[in-house]
A and B are shown apart, each in its own frame.
Chain A
Amino acid sequence: MNGTPSPLAMAAEGLAPEVSVSRDIIKKGLWIAPLVMGLGAIIWGANGAWSAGLGLAIVLINFGLAASLIAWSAPISLALMMGVSLFGYLIRLGLIALGVFLVRDVSWVSLPALGITIIVSHLGLLFWEMKFIAASLAFPGLRPNAQEWKPSGPAEKP
């Protein structure tokens, strides 16, 4: 024992960036919801529209739940965050499976529309958000709150 605290006993302090990322993803998802439902209606008819809406809702709830679990556990300890991330993955997959099984025999559900919407909207929203995050990291001046960000100038001489 050398007195150094274990990394797993440490806790992450400060703001929860995943909450703002997931909030941003959910906002974008709600913006594109009419478009997704419209595409579902064009391809699969009225049932496709409702199923596409349900698929998008599942994806957005999944993002929100993932972010909430990490944001809740990180300030407690990094070990708990690891556990919650891994078991949260299993729990969220189980919840998605349960949600789909509960509605699989409902008359207005089209399973191909539901499945394809889940995959396409999950990946599409992620790539959209990743592009935004990568751009804001590379060019901080482009951030919406750029006024608050000030570049560090040369150190003042005493």
Chain B
Amino acid sequence: MEAIARLIAAEAATPADAKNTAAAASAGYAYGLAAIGPGIGIGYLVGKSVEAMARQPEAAGMVRTTMFLGIAFTEALALIGFVVFILLKFA
């Protein structure tokens, strides 16, 4: 991170440019990092749901309902990261 900051400072023409570039890079990192956790979480959640449906097909309806809500709740974390990104980058 420090090396990237030095590179940005060396490449930028003015301190304002350096600040803008660093803000854009930070926003990109924030969005990218915020999407990793929910990706792992959704993978784990759906994998366990498939396991549960295979074990007990008669409970598939309840499992799918819970899985859908779980996916939506997990996705909220990525949406928070995305909103932070657009606010840092464009607002």
Contact = CB atoms under 8 A, between A and B. Distances in A.
Interface string A6-18: 0110101111111
Given A15-B61, A78-B50, A112 B91 contact: yes
A17 B90 contact: no
A22 interface: yes
Interface residues of B, number: 34
A86 B43 contact: yes
Interface centre among B46, B68, B78, B91 (most CB of A within 10 A): B68
Interface of A: 7-8, 10, 12-18, 21-22, 62-63, 66-67, 70, 74, 78-79, 81-82, 85-86, 89-90, 92-93, 96-97, 100, 104, 111-112, 114-116, 118-119, 122-123, 126, 129-130, 133, 137
A21 B65 contact: yes
Interface in B37-91: 38-39, 42-43, 46-47, 50-51, 53-54, 57, 60-62, 64-65, 67-69, 71-73, 75-76, 78-80, 82-83, 86-87, 90-91
B22 interface: no
B79 A118 contact: yes
A82 B44 CA distance: 10
Given A78-B54, A111-B90, A85 B72 contact: no
Nearest to A126: B72
Contact of B86 (A12, A111, A129): A111
Interface of B: 35, 38-39, 42-43, 46-47, 50-51, 53-54, 57, 60-62, 64-65, 67-69, 71-73, 75-76, 78-80, 82-83, 86-87, 90-91
A10 B91 contact: no
A112 B84 CA distance: 10
A22 B68 contact: yes
A78 B46 CA distance: 10
A70 B67 CA distance: 10
A90 to B, nearest CB: 8
B35 A93 contact: yes
Given A15-B61, A82-B50, A122-B72, A111 B79 contact: no
